[in-house]
Amino acid sequence: MRVDMFLTRQGPPVLNQGRDSRSEVQRLILNGQITVNAKCVKSSVRVRAADRVQIAIVASCESHLQAEDLPLDVLFEDADCMVINKAAGMVVHPAAGISTGTLVNALLHHCPKLAGIGGEKRPGIVHRLDKDTSGAMIVAKTSLALENLGRQFSERRVGKEYLALVWGAMTADWGTNDRPIGRHRSDRKKMSSLHASSRQRTAVTEWRVESRFAVAGTKSGWISLLRLKPRTGRTHQIRVHLADMKHPLVGDRVYGRNFLKGETRDNKKLLGLQRFSRHALHAEKLTFEHPRSGERMEFAAPLPADMRELIGQLQRAQN
């Protein structure tokens, strides 16, 4: 018997009796909330004796946020999830003093049904990028996808790769920073791996040098292009690890402000650096298992124009 007919005939008490039972079952199947032998299925799949059929009823919280028609760069989308290329300068979700212009506002316009997935202020949000970090992000479109993807992140099964421009010439070609991160002892708005409070969490960042650029007229004399693979997802992890290694991100006005003071001399070769208004960090690649099919998927977000132009200026300056 088809799984939707089987459950309709069973009349399980967990179904919303205010709706037609079969329609409710089909809605749950579409949302990925019904599995057969731990796998998401279609309504037409037939069940057999000894099959294990499970219904996941996930409490949702309707969002009262305003949907806004904002630019959204979608790299992939299906019924379960979507991957977007977040623009630098866009806040991911509303917070104190910010209720409009966020990625969530844009997502609600693009996908109105997202309002019931997850928390009120973070519907569909599985992970975050800092406001000034650009690049690939995954968004869940069903409750089960949100749960599945969240579990992949917590179990560290999601692959992430970033590109970054940092001050100074790295002395080695590759390495790993595995210093735990916690709140800064004296500045509670910052994180630190060197001056953290007693409550710290494991943080691991692998890095590899892609290029080194000599930059005349700067205090450090060099800028390095790095590829980074964070194995954990702590707040400001990459920025903190790089700053504590004395190689802060170019443009980081929180963790690299001491470098910025020494890098603002009037030099024609520095015009591109002086105009760079954010920290130079881009989430280039994202790899995960599709929440329904289990297929391993990889997506790449192209470098934004500001980082591409700055790298081009640094390459030309070497000649």
pLDDT tens digits, one per residue of 226-269 = 999 999 999 899 999 999 999 999 999 899 876 655 554 444 44
Is residue 15 pLDDT above 60, yes or no? no
Q: What pLDDT was estimated at residue 19?
A: 46
Indicate if the pLDDT at residue 20 is higher than 70.
no
List, for residues 49-72, the tens digit of each pLDDT value. Answer: 999 998 876 655 555 788 899 999
**Tally of residues, the chain:** 319
Count Cβ atoms below 10 Å from residue 281 Cβ, excluding itself: 27
Give pLDDT, residue 268: 44
All structural domains of the chain: 3-55 (3.10.290.10), 61-155 (3.30.2350.10), 156-288+298-319 (3.30.2350.10)
Distance of CA 240 to the CA centre of its chain: 17
- Residue with the bigger pLDDT between 150 and 189: it is 150
Structure confidence at residue 78 as a pLDDT band (50, 70, 90): very high
Please check the confidence at residue 162 and state whether its pLDDT lies above 90.
yes
The 8-class DSSP code of residue 115 comes to: G
Q: pTM score, two decimals?
A: 0.77
Give dist(CA 52, CA 147) in Å, integer. 20
Q: Considering the chain, what is the average pLDDT of its residues? A: 85
- The confidence band for 18, taking pLDDT boundaries of 50, 70 and 90, is very low
Catalytic residue, candidates 4, 130, 132, 252? 130
Task: List all residues 6 or more positions away from 75 whose beta carbon is below 8 Å from its beta carbon.
Answer: 83, 84, 85, 136, 299, 301
Q: What is the mean pLDDT of residues 92-106?
A: 83
How far is 222 from 247, CA to CA, in rounded Å? 10
pLDDT for position 266? 43
Residue 130 known to be catalytic = yes
Q: Which residue has the higher pLDDT, 268 or 195?
A: 195
- Determine phi and psi for 154, rounding to 5 degrees: -65, -30
Query: What percent of the chain lies above the pLDDT cut of 90?
Result: 50
Given a cut of 50, whether residue 218 has pLDDT beyond it is yes
Distance CA 314, CA 272 (A): 9
Most confident of 118-132, 148-162, 245-259, 266-280: 148-162
